[in-house]
Amino acid sequence: MIRQMAREVYEYRELLLALAWRDIRVKYKQAVMGVMWIFFMPILAILAGIIIRFAMAYLQGSGLSWEAVTSVIARSQPWLIFAAILGTTSQGLLSGMQLASKIYFPRQTIPLASTLGVLFDFVISITAVSLVLVLVSAFAPVGIMFTPWLLMVPVLLSLLVLMAVGLGLVFGTGNLFFRDVKYIVQVMLQFGIFFTPVYWFVHEMGRFGQLMMLNPIAPLIEGISQCVVGHVSEGVGAGAVYMPGMDAAMWPFVIYSAVFAIGSLLAGMAIFRRSEPWFAEVM
Amino acid sequence: MSATERAIRIDRVWKKFRVGEFHDSLRDLIPDLFRRIVGRGVQRDELGSKEFWALKDVAFEVGKGESLGIIGPNGAGKSTLLKVLSRIMRPDRGRYEVDGRVSALIEVGAGFHPDLTGRENLFLNGAILGMKRAEVKAREEEIIEFSGIGRFIDTPVKRFSSGMKARLGFAVAAHLKPDILLVDEVLSVGDAAFRGKCVRFMRQLIQSDVTVVFISHILEQVRRLCPRTVVLDQGQTVYDGPTDGAIRKYMELISKHTGLVGASQAAAVIQNVRFCDQDDQEVLEWNAQEPGVVHFDLVVHRPIHAPHVKINFCALGGQWLGVANSVDKLDLPGEPGVYPLKLTLDPVPFVNGDFELQFEIGGVDGERGDEGGPIWSSSQPMVLTVRDPRSGAPGVRCEGVWERANEPGLGASLERLSSPSIS
């Protein structure tokens, strides 16, 4: 199944690129800020995080730590990627299929093109955010540190993308048949951030931290933060600098996420493939 | 027909559709959904309670380079058949083979994005139709030229008129180089000039070695573009053969479906119009240097008093140019029957260009008396192309005898003609 789907896409690669390019082009047309939005979205997300962290620190009577700031920067990006891919692939399938009922091309080109369109933005914004992280680290006692753990970041990010694509296919296909699915996705994207360690961190949540880790995105985002940001110990032996790195206790959760990601991708592809013959009819 | 020269083979294709909504209760939905995903237990061969066959056992072949027309009443399954052939839909039963690069023109300008400019949409539409970017790039100027969009090409398509959109869409499609082209009704969009362009384009295609499957309700287009035609009715092939026979079959079906046989039918109609050269050979366009001949049949259903036939010649768009009227020139019989008629225009009154011909039968209906209007007039004008190898400009023939005159006084009258007192 995978090989056949890939071969079809390869045959229509020109169309894939044209559609992805259209998505990118259309997104910033008739917007005064244009392409600057690629940078504004992550900046807004990071600012929101910093405000929340500041409020939390104020309530605890302590100051805003550099560690919290760098961590929020590192965590907000993956969440944005996940939300954007899930949102566009699941919604974009419906509008794309209108075209597919008029002309033949491999249907999988549509979700793939919208994913590529989103990824284009994030390649740019992640580069920018990484630069910011490095800059922030220059001031912070502990910020981003260049350790071999950084190599884990692309792995975790890829898993996140695969999961988003897989879920996008499942929900997008569902949405073709039942428009209810659109609302489910909306709710997930609106409230999902409260159940994901983006603005708060798992180690602060005590017992509930473990519960949060059942959210398959949580281990990936937590993992990315741990791989990038070091921290300074507090309390007894305060001041000791811990290099970034994933806790040993994280591994089972990361593996759980990886299985979930691959599983949802395969399920998404299978459901997509199975219902493909009906696409032109339900449109 | 040997396998090597076959472009399309449709082998007993069946396709079913559902009436009404897909699911009307959760009780239907869940087991049905489960069956779909698992893919077992779905009886693709049988008809459910709310289903009907849109295509029933359709089978025919199309040879390489052939052009085949498909006609039939609304809902006969024409578009469904085209969607199956272009792989948009899968048949429930039966098989089909298509040999070559297929392009389907089901909607001109499919996939245009309103926010993108004409040029951007040109590339996008090209990719959607299966062209490589380099191919589009190579023909970019040619396509823009063909579309006639000119300096608006870099304006967002949402500010285009619908005619401009159609022209751009067709321009891209016209520059495709498919082996097999499937066309569904697209030639009936746009203004008259655009339709003329479409018809010319189709003729060029048909003369080349492209295989064309052409769906249209404009019977004259089908008749002039396709020697062979399939008639579909309620999902079934009811006729497959020469187009003249197909049109008769189609008219029969239409009158059967609408109950038009009898009193409400026009007393006479004109059918089977053919443009010919002076040797009565059917041609696609007239040569302005030679006489042009129009052959047609006057079919009288009910007696008519003083029947006469008028052929109106118009420019594209309907601007009336002149008329050829049979009154006082030919006595036509008014009794029921089929009368082949012939009009010779020597010389052809046009030089270069596309013209619209509209037919009319005048006279008094023996049954209903004089209703003041024509007994019958053609609803769709026919497009006629005239070529003059010596001149480039289109228009009406205005040739006379030129000579030097020696009578005096002519200068004075010319002066008077151009003076402002005559307005």
**What is the pLDDT, as a whole number, of residue A245?**
74
- B30 contact A CB<8A: no
Q: Which of A12, A25, A274 sits opposite B39 (nearest CB)?
A: A274
- B343 contact A CB<8A: no
Asked if B7 and B98 count as a contact pair (C-beta separation under 8 A), the reply is yes
Cβ contacts of A105 on chain B, cutoff 8 Å: 128, 130
Cβ <8 Å between A280 and B89: yes
Asked if B324 and B307 count as a contact pair (C-beta separation under 8 A), the reply is no
pLDDT above 70: percentage of residues in chain A: 92
- The encoded tokens of residue A149 equal 């753990």
Q: Give the residue, A114 or B201, on which the prediction is more confident.
A: A114
- A180 contact B CB<8A: no
Instruction: Determine whether domain B3-20+56-248 maps to CATH 2.160.20.10.
Output: no
Place of tokens 């010649």: B313
- Residue in A with minimal Cα distance to B101: A104
Angle formed by the axes of helices A109-139 and A66-100, nearest 10°? 170
Place of tokens 């007696």: B303
Provide mean pLDDT across the span B119-147. Answer: 88
**What is the pLDDT, as a whole number, of residue B418?**
52
Q: A170 to each of A5, B86, B88, B127, how far by Cα in Å?
A: 16, 26, 21, 27
Distance, CA of A283 to CA of B21 (rounded, Å): 12
Statement: residue B11 has pLDDT above 80: yes
Cβ-based neighbour number of residue B231 at 10 Å: 26
**What is the pLDDT, as a whole number, of residue A258?**
95
**What is the pLDDT, as a whole number, of residue B26?**
54
Cβ <8 Å between B22 and A282: yes
Return left, alpha or beta for A206; rule: phi > 0 is left, psi -120 to 50 is alpha, else beta.
Answer: left
A95 phi, psi to nearest 5 deg: -70, -35
- A33 contact B CB<8A: no
**What is the pLDDT, as a whole number, of residue A232?**
60
Q: What is the CATH number of domain B263-396?
A: 2.70.50.60
Beta bridge partners of A241: A232
- The encoded tokens of residue B374 equal 């024509």
Provide mean pLDDT across the span A256-281. Answer: 89
Provide mean pLDDT across the span A118-145. Answer: 80
Cβ contacts of B86 on chain A, cutoff 8 Å: 103-104
Q: pLDDT (tens digit, 9 = 90+) per residue, B12-26?
A: 888 888 766 655 455
**Highest averaged pLDDT of the listed ranges A1-15, A163-177, A202-216, B107-121:** A163-177
Distance, CA of B332 to CA of B352 (rounded, Å): 32
Statement: residue B42 has pLDDT above 50: no
Measured torsion, CA atoms of residues B147, B149, B150, B151, in degrees rounded to the nearest 10? -150
Please choose, from the candidates A131, A124, A165, the residue with its C-alpha nearest in 3D space to the C-alpha of residue A38. A124
Model confidence at A143, pLDDT cuts 50, 70, 90, reads low
Distance, CA of A272 to CA of A259 (rounded, Å): 20
Residue A209 C-alpha, separation from nearest chain B C-alpha, in angstroms: 36
Model confidence at A265, pLDDT cuts 50, 70, 90, reads very high
Model confidence at B250, pLDDT cuts 50, 70, 90, reads confident
Distance, CA of B61 to CA of B10 (rounded, Å): 6
Distance, CA of B102 to CA of B98 (rounded, Å): 8
Asked if A244 and A153 count as a contact pair (C-beta separation under 8 A), the reply is no
Q: pLDDT (tens digit, 9 = 90+) per residue, B302-315?
A: 888 888 899 999 88
Asked if A117 and A27 count as a contact pair (C-beta separation under 8 A), the reply is yes
Strands B376-377 and B350-351: what pairing?
unpaired
Provide mean pLDDT across the span B371-389. Answer: 79
Place of tokens 């071969």: A7
Annotated domain spans of chain A: 2-282
Radius of gyration for the alpha carbons in chain A, expressed in angstroms and rounded: 20
Cβ contacts of B128 on chain A, cutoff 8 Å: 15, 18, 99, 103, 105
Q: pLDDT (tens digit, 9 = 90+) per residue, B65-102?
A: 899 999 988 888 888 888 888 888 888 888 888 888 88
Cβ contacts of B88 on chain A, cutoff 8 Å: 100-104, 280
- The encoded tokens of residue B32 equal 């049905």
Asked if B300 and B267 count as a contact pair (C-beta separation under 8 A), the reply is yes
Please choose, from the candidates B229, B221, B233, B266, the residue with its C-alpha nearest in 3D space to the C-alpha of residue B373. B266
Statement: residue B417 has pLDDT above 80: no
Statement: residue A19 has pLDDT above 50: yes
Q: Which of B104, B120, B124 sits opposite A103 (nearest CB)?
A: B104
Model confidence at B407, pLDDT cuts 50, 70, 90, reads low
Please choose, from the candidates A7, A24, A174, A2, the residue with its C-alpha nearest in 3D space to the C-alpha of residue A113. A24
Cβ <8 Å between A177 and B111: no
Distance, CA of B362 to CA of A163 (rounded, Å): 74
Statement: residue B264 has pLDDT above 60: no
Report the helix count and the strand count for chain B, using DSSP H and E.
Answer: 9, 20
**What is the pLDDT, as a whole number, of residue B13?**
87
Instruction: Using DSSP, state whether B23 is helix, strand or coil.
Output: coil
Distance, CA of A253 to CA of A196 (rounded, Å): 14
Model confidence at A261, pLDDT cuts 50, 70, 90, reads very high
Model confidence at B183, pLDDT cuts 50, 70, 90, reads confident
A139 phi, psi to nearest 5 deg: -90, -35
Beta bridge partners of B232: B237
Provide mean pLDDT across the span B383-391. Answer: 79
**What is the pLDDT, as a whole number, of residue A236?**
53
Provide mean pLDDT across the span A165-171. Answer: 94
Average pLDDT for chain B: 80
Cβ <8 Å between B115 and A26: yes
Angle formed by the axes of helices A66-100 and A180-191, nearest 10°? 170
Annotated domain spans of chain B: 3-20+56-248, 263-396
Q: Enter the ipTM.
A: 0.78
**What is the pLDDT, as a whole number, of residue B416?**
52
Cβ contacts of B130 on chain A, cutoff 8 Å: 12, 15, 105
Q: Which of A26, A102, A275 sits opposite B106 (nearest CB)?
A: A102
Cβ <8 Å between A30 and B87: no
**What is the pLDDT, as a whole number, of residue B358?**
87
Average pLDDT for chain A: 85
Cβ contacts of B107 on chain A, cutoff 8 Å: 102-103
**What is the pLDDT, as a whole number, of residue B411?**
54
Q: pLDDT (tens digit, 9 = 90+) per residue, A24-38?
A: 888 887 777 777 888
Q: pLDDT (tens digit, 9 = 90+) per residue, A181-216?
A: 888 899 989 898 888 888 888 878 777 888 888 899
Q: Give the residue, B257 or B140, on which the prediction is more confident.
A: B140
Q: Lowest-pLDDT range, A92-96, A233-237, B367-371?
A: A233-237
Place of tokens 């006692």: A141
pLDDT above 90: percentage of residues in chain B: 7
User: What is the enclosing helix (H) or strand (E) of B84?
Assistant: helix B78-85
Cβ <8 Å between B128 and A18: yes
- A28 contact B CB<8A: no
Statement: residue A145 has pLDDT above 80: no
| 3-class DSSP string for chain A | CHHHHHHHHHHCHHHHHHHHHHHHHHHCCCCCCHHHHHHHHHHHHHHHHHHHHHHHHHHCCCCCCHHHHHHHHHHHHHHHHHHHHHHHHHHHHHHHHHHHCCCCCCCCHHHHHHHHHHHHHHHHHHHHHHHHHHHHHHHCCCCECCCHHHHHHHHHHHHHHHHHHHHHHHHHHHHHHCCHHHHHHHHHHHHHHHHCCCCCCHHHCCHHHHHHCCCCCHHHHHHHHHHHECEECCCCCCCCEECCCCCHHHHHHHHHHHHHHHHHHHHHHHHHHHHHHHHHHHC
The amino acid at A149: W
Statement: residue B419 has pLDDT above 60: no
- B193 contact A CB<8A: no
Cβ <8 Å between B89 and A281: yes
A141 phi, psi to nearest 5 deg: -65, -40
**What is the pLDDT, as a whole number, of residue A256?**
94
Asked if B102 and B85 count as a contact pair (C-beta separation under 8 A), the reply is yes
Provide mean pLDDT across the span A71-96. Answer: 89
Q: Lowest-pLDDT range, A263-277, B18-32, B80-94, B267-281?
A: B18-32
B374 phi, psi to nearest 5 deg: -70, 155
Residue A16 C-alpha, separation from nearest chain B C-alpha, in angstroms: 9
- The encoded tokens of residue A85 equal 């891919």
- B129 contact A CB<8A: yes
Residue B278 C-alpha, separation from nearest chain A C-alpha, in angstroms: 44
Distance, CA of B400 to CA of A10 (rounded, Å): 65
Cβ <8 Å between B116 and A29: yes
Distance, CA of B336 to CA of A198 (rounded, Å): 87
- A104 contact B CB<8A: yes
